[in-house]
Copies of this chain bind each other. A is one copy, B any other.
Amino acid sequence: MSDAKKDIRALVFDVFGTVVDWRTSISRQVAEFGASYGVDADWNQFADDWRAGYHAGMAKVNAGEDEWKIVDQIHRERLDVLLEQYGFPEIDENELVHFNKAWHRLDGWPDSTVGLTRLKSKFVVCSLSNGNVALLTNMAKYANLPWDAVLSAELAGKYKPHPLAYQRTAELLGFQRDQVMLVAAHNSDLRGAVSAGLKAALVTRPEEFGDAKQPDLEPEPDFAYFAKDFHDLADQLGCA
């Protein structure tokens, strides 16, 4: 066994796309929301547009062009723009607050809960998402994700792929960086983890983006593991 595969104590997980199917979950909720206001549109596109605002908002924070803001706030700022763009009428503030939390109500992939439970028997399993702690905590209850701990880039004050987001998580868990492995469906995130001193496992999620974007299906040479889902990863890691 190569060194890269040894002495792993904690598995930290990217969440959006890796653990939960954000696109199907969001487009379903926004379709219901649209119907209640008599608005019709391509709701997969709405989901993709909303998601795009998330990346842009985080990039501004990491570049120092914007002060720290949590993902709930980034989602809300983008939502306000999209609702106007898609022709929604004016909406009650309480309802907007609730709807913006659609991102707290995302369904896991079919293998997520049972796969995490298997992995948890041998490793600390922990979220490492750019989503804020409240979002991840509510999502874990909604989607039945059995985290040992709910950690987030929020606790570093920098978004992935900034090295501090990964390093702060290892520090909070009390492990050396190379005892912690990021599990993600996205090579860019995994590259960030490797650059920060963590190990990396690509788990493919071929349906994440529908037909809107190519998923990452091939690992890079410095990733320690490559699996087709959490069961496959649990098998490779020797979990019961």
* A interface, CB within 8 angstroms of B: 72, 120, 124, 126, 132-138, 140-141, 148-151, 154-155, 172-175
Contacts and interface: CB of A to CB of B under 8 A. Distances in A.
A190 to B, nearest CB: 23
Contact of A137 (B136, B148, B154, B155): B148
B72 A133 contact: no
A-side binding surface: helix, strand, loop or mixed? Answer: helix
A148 B140 contact: yes
Instruction: Count the copies.
Output: 2
Contacts of A72: 174
Nearest to A133: B172
Nearest to A154: B172
Given A133-B173, A140-B148, 5 more contacts: A134-B172, A134-B175, A137-B149, A149-B150, A155-B155
A124 B149 contact: no
